[in-house]
Amino acid sequence: MSFLLPLGLLALLALPLIVLLHFLRERRRRVPTPSLLLWANLPRRVEGERSRRLPLTLLLLLHLLIATLLGVALGGPQITGALTPDARHTAIILDTSTSMAAVDGGASRFDQARRRARAIVTSASPGDRITLIAAGPRAQIVASGDDPLLITAALDRLQPGGVGMAINEALTLAEAVLDPQFSRRIVVLTDSALPPQPARDMIVPIEWVSIGSNVPNRAIIAFASRPWGGRLQVYARVANYDATAFNGTLQVFSDNQVVAEERVAIAPNGETEVSWTLPGGIEALRATIDGRDALPQDDVAYLSVSQGRPILALLVSNEPAALRRALAAIPGVTVVVTNPAAYADTPERSAADLTIFDGFLPDAWPQGAILSIAPPSGSSLLNVASDTREPEPGKPLHQRGNTLQGIEFGGVVFGAVRIVEAPPWAEVQLSFENTPLILRGRTDNHEIAIWTFNLASSNLTTRLAFPILVARTVRDLAPPPLPQAVRAGEPLVIRPDPRTTTLRLRGPDNRQITAPAASVVTLDTLIEPGLYRVEEQRNNITVPVGMVGVNAGAAIESNLRPQNAPPLRAPGTDPGSAAGRQTLDLWPWLALAALLVLALEWAYVLRRREKVFT
């Protein structure tokens, strides 16, 4: 016997309390008597002596029995009983990758696989167990148990989508979940659209069921762009997975208008590449090929072109000229300049994505990212000494971090440097001896960079390193741009603005995906091809961030030819532990028994009272 909720057994502590209550009740029992004269000659109890005999009455025994039954029932007792010797535990691995959506023989491969899985479920004997594992870009258990209705309902909810099948992850998951007390087996339902797999030893029997036949397919397997001057270079690669040549038209759309078109002739089992030069100002592109094949999902590809996040930079400085020029040269950055005296009344203070403080610090860090240059002493935000230190020319600088990689500081004179104690949330990226020059960190959702030197007393602003350092610092502090596109099912990693509370994606057919904000948000549920708009919620304000394309075309998915099963070495049979076993919950029976005893106790008390009255 085992207990599902052992803490429930604490209810048994009521047993000594019941005994105590009965003991106190029996000590002061009232007895009617016509006279006390006959009691005068009874032996008197010795002074201080107390009777300790437990009053064993039927009522006490009934109360103890009821409390015992209820206390054990609260612990959730279970017993394990044997089933039939051939009880089985079957793990069904169902391929949910995009290629399973191909229409093959009048129905999609996924529907065919789902019918086979449903047949396995309905043919299970009483006591058999089924575990359903969906294997797309990642493997996960979607249902498990001995209830066929539960497994069938989970099957009906599954839909194909995502590039790649995590077969090794699925097999490992299946071996781990199978109960060794049952006769175990694994059934894989897939079209085997897999790259070559290494040999693998299995501990249980495995049945590999290949779905689909040799059907032709055409696909856009690559789609990308890059800025070129004020224009846009676009590249596409189209593959023909067929034994015959293909001739078709490849079109590129922007806002549902054709902006490029090309006739393509692709050799059997060949590929072709096409490139265009388009005008600037395009936000997103969609490429289509008239494939006329079994898998239309990979006949279209999506691409987001304008990937840079717009940045509003608030520059607080009494000498802003050099910084303003460097900031204005960064694409997508809008610069607003104010001086320290007017900072508190600046309208852009709360809306700024990046605030640069030059020789000044406020009482509290503002929202958004912060760059502090030559912070003054006496601030509550940073521990800055009142004196300064000047690095000796020619002394080596200690440099670390990717932000400063490749920036040459040779010949730079930093001048007077503020001695800033590195906060626990920051790390030193550039220093001479033990004096920090540049620090970088994050605290309370604030991305902060600190330059301890004064630009006015330094020659850094006249060096080539200055605009590079400013641009890299801004890009490091600001959230990185979204990727142009990802493959269906591939994790999309987003670093939202620190002020964001909720991240929202609007996909095809205006379908929404929301996620709580964090320093890094990873989304792996984008399996439907299309353009997804990314929005951030900041203080009940929706801020558009950009778009990202999700594409199904890939060489691993678009080649619909049947592939061989991977080399898996598995035993022929698995008897398990000679008998499957099931658990039986005892608490309902114990609760029913307690109810019956309670009824018996009630009848006993009622009958006893009737005798007293008569």
Whether 101 shows a pLDDT value over 50: the answer reads yes
Render 572-602 in DSSP notation, one character per residue.
Answer: S---TTSS-EEEEE-HHHHHHHHHHHHHHHH
- What pairs with residue 533 in β-bridges? 506, 547
Tell me what pLDDT residue 105 has.
84
236 pLDDT above the threshold of 90: yes
Pairing of strands 369-373, 446-451: parallel
Exposure letters 418-456 (e unless 16+ CB within 10 A, then b)? bbbebeeebebbbbbeebbbbbbbeeeebbbbbbbbbbb
Q: What is the mean pLDDT of residues 223-228?
A: 91
Q: Mean pLDDT score of the chain, rounded to an integer?
A: 87
The predicted structure's pLDDT at residue 579: 45
Could you give the CA distance from residue 263 to residue 244 in angstroms, rounded to a whole number?
17
Instruction: Give the residue among 303, 296, 307, 245 at the shortest CA–CA distance from 272.
Output: 245
- 46 pLDDT band, cuts 50/70/90, is low
What burial class does residue 602 get, using C-beta atoms within 10 Å of its C-beta: 0-12 exposed, 13-18 middle, 19+ buried?
Answer: exposed
* pLDDT (0 to 100) of residue 156: 95
**For 73, which DSSP code?**
H
Judge whether residue 24 has pLDDT over 80.
no
Whether pLDDT at 112 is above 90:
yes
Confidence of residue 578 (pLDDT cuts 50, 70, 90): very low
Query: pLDDT tens digits, residue range 50-74?
Result: 555 666 777 778 888 888 888 888 8
pLDDT at 598 (0 to 100): 86
Residue range 261-272: mean pLDDT, rounded: 94
Confidence of residue 25 (pLDDT cuts 50, 70, 90): low
**For residues 141-155, average pLDDT:** 94
Question: Average pLDDT in the 349-370 region?
Answer: 91
579 close to 82: Cβ distance less than 8 angstroms: yes
Instruction: Report pLDDT for 582.
Output: 56
On the question of pLDDT at 199 being above 50, the answer is yes
pTM: 0.71
Least confident range from 156-165, 339-348, 575-584: namely 575-584
β 88-95/183-190 pair status? parallel
Length of the chain: 614
Q: How many CB atoms lie within 10 A of CB 365?
A: 18
pLDDT tens-digit readout, 537-552: 987 888 888 899 999 9
Nearest of 255, 291, 250 to residue 274 by alpha carbon: 250
323 versus 444: the higher-pLDDT residue is 323
CB-CB contact of 173 with 133 (8 Å): yes
What's the whole-number mean pLDDT along residues 523-540?
Answer: 90
pLDDT bin (cut points 50, 70, 90) of residue 91 is very high
User: What phi and psi, each to the nearest 5 degrees, are found at residue 589?
Assistant: -70, -40
CB of 379 closer than 8 Å to CB of 340? no
| Domains, the chain, ordered by start | 2-29+52-76+586-613 (no CATH), 88-214+568-577 (3.40.50.410), 219-307+554-558 (2.60.40.10), 311-477 (3.40.50.880)
pLDDT at 427: 93
Q: What are the backbone angles phi and psi of residue 266, rounded to the nearest 5°?
A: -115, 130
- Separation between Cα atoms, residue 407 and residue 437, nearest integer Å: 14
**What number is the average pLDDT over the span 278-307?**
90
Which pLDDT score is estimated for 87? 84
Concatenate the DSSP letters of all residues of 530-560 into one string: EEEEEEEEETTEEEEEEEEEEE---HHHH--
What's the CA angle centered on 610, arms 605 and 611, to 5 degrees?
Answer: 100
Please state, in angstroms and rounded to a whole number, the distance separating the CA atoms of residues 31 and 386. Answer: 94
- Would strands 206-210 and 183-190 be described as parallel, antiparallel, or unpaired? parallel
- The average pLDDT across 252-281 equals 93
Question: Taking residues 167-174, what's their average pLDDT?
Answer: 94
**Could you report the per-residue pLDDT of 397-435, keeping only the tens digit for each?**
888 888 898 898 888 888 888 889 999 999 999 998 888
